[in-house]
Amino acid sequence: MVTIRLTRRGAKNSPFYHVVVTDSRKRQGGLSLENVGFFNPVARKSEPRLKLDLARIEYWVGQGAKPSDRVRTLVADFRKQAAA
């Protein structure tokens, strides 16, 4: 099964997450099929906090990929932010 989830990158006490499409049986930091965005929870004012490729996420969901709970909320936040 294909899933859309976060994979952690960044230094200690400075998290940075890539939003990736991957096989659910692979490890969290393992090889992914596609990188569809990023999430920076500790972004400063001038840095972007969230960037997603909604077209690619919708494509993968259409192909049967299941987003994780956190990714589902991030996509909803990004759509709300893009509409404003």
- Could you tell me the domains of the chain? 2-83 (3.30.1320.10)
Asked whether the predicted pLDDT for residue 83 surpasses 80, the reply is yes
Reduce the DSSP state of residue 78 to 3 states and report it. helix
Asked whether the predicted pLDDT for residue 82 surpasses 90, the reply is no
pLDDT for 25: 86
* pLDDT 10s digits, 27-69: 777 788 999 999 999 989 899 999 999 999 999 999 999 999 9
Asked whether the predicted pLDDT for residue 7 surpasses 90, the reply is yes
